[in-house]
């Protein structure tokens, strides 16, 4: 399920229950964060867990290469970036906090 699918499903009736046990200090911290965002504990926990699940899965990328392909891959990673105007602008634009 992608983010758009999740976002669209929030208006639908939820039909699956997720139960977890937590320590008192963990629940208190979660409640404090949920309140800071104007959300219920359930809303906050579901959104947080969903975002973390997406992050974990998006960071999982497995591909196989033979030795020459792997060396070519490493060479490309080690090569300096090809100069271009957008990269130049990005690297020379001050950050908003500077």
- The three-point CA angle 61-69-81 to 5° equals 75
What pLDDT is recorded for position 11?
56
Tens of each residue's pLDDT in the chain, 98 residues: 444 444 444 557 888 999 999 999 999 999 999 999 999 999 999 999 999 999 999 888 877 899 999 999 999 999 997 889 998 898 899 988 87
What pLDDT is recorded for position 74?
95
pTM: 0.53
Q: At what angle do helices 41-58 and 24-36 cross, to 10 degrees?
A: 90
Q: What does the domain layout of the chain look like in residue ranges?
A: 3-92
């Amino acid at each position: 399920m992608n983010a758009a699918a999740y976002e669209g499903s929030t208006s639908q009736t939820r039909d699956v229950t997720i139960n977890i046990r937590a320590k008192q200090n963990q629940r208190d911290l979660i409640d404090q964060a949920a309140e800071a965002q104007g959300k219920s504990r359930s809303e906050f926990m579901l959104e947080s867990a969903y975002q973390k699940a997406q992050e974990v899965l998006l960071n999982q990328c497995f591909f196989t290469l033979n030795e020459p392909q792997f060396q070519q891959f490493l060479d490309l990673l080690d090569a300096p970036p090809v100069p271009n105007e957008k990269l130049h602008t990005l690297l020379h634009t001050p950050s908003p906090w500077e």
